Structure formats: C-alpha cells, structure tokens
Amino acid sequence: MKQPVTFLKGGQFIRFAMGLWVLLLLASPVHADLTGPAIVEQHCAACHASGVANAPRIGVTDDWAELLAMRDLETIVDNAYDGLGRMPARGFCTACDRNDIAQAVDAMLPEELAGPDL
C-alpha cells in the first residue's frame, strides 16, 4: 500500500501554522479610528479576556489592582506599547499608536480603577 504524501512533517506544521497566523495578524487592515473597546475586541481580548499568561483580565479589579500596585498607569501603557515579557508590542496592533493603546488599556480597566486620560 502506498504511503500518503505529507506536505509538512512533525513540528514543521506547527511552525508553518504559527508563521501563517503572524502574517495574517500583520496583514490585518489598518484600523480606521478604532475606539479603545474596538481595539480591545480585535487585538487584546485574545489574552486579556481569559487571563492567558497572567494577562490582567478585562474589568477584573483584583487583576488590575495588583498590577497598578507595582506600576503607574502611564508605565502600564508604555509596557503595552513597547511590549514586556509575554506581552507583544501593541498587542500585535501594528497600526496602533500610543494614544490608541492608552484607550485600549483604559477600556480594559474596571471603572473603579480607571484613571485620568493619558
């Protein structure tokens, strides 16, 4: 019996799939004046909705209070913009500027912890 021809073997498929995913993210259309909540939905929620890799969860006071005890809000925005640890720069929103990221961070904060406009 003939063996089926395989396109990718072993870990090659995973590397191919991850590379394709990154390309699709980078090729996403430039946002047209997205608001903070829209940026969160399209770029941030993948990790921040469930807390993947210890990402502070959207609207969860305990998660954000712990982070705000270590860093001020401006530093958190800087870290989100530049990337830090497992947090990719701008959450892969390549079209986002610092103000966009500040709006996204503000949209993820629980109301009681929201700070002044950055």
Residue 66 lies in a domain: yes
Phi, psi of 87 (to 5 degrees): -80, 115
Q: What is the pLDDT of residue 80?
A: 97
Residue 51 lies in a domain: yes
Residue 73 lies in a domain: yes
Residue 5 lies in a domain: no
Residue 59 lies in a domain: yes
CATH (domain of 70): 1.10.760.10
Residue 83 lies in a domain: yes
pLDDT per residue as tens, the chain (118 positions): 666 555 556 667 667 766 666 666 655 555 567 899 999 999 999 999 999 999 999 999 999 999 999 999 999 999 999 999 999 999 999 999 999 999 999 999 999 887 665 5
Residue 60 lies in a domain: yes
Residue 69 lies in a domain: yes
Q: Give the residue numbers spanning the domain of 91.
A: 34-113
Q: Which two tokens stand for residue 74?
A: 């401006």
What's the pTM? 0.71
Total domain count, the chain: 1
The vertex-79 CA angle with 71 and 84, nearest 5°, equals 110
Q: What is the pLDDT of residue 36?
A: 94
Contacts of 109 (CB under 8 A, 6+ apart): 59, 64, 115
Q: What is the pLDDT of residue 1?
A: 62
Q: Which two tokens stand for residue 82?
A: 């530049």
Phi, psi of 105 (to 5 degrees): -60, -45
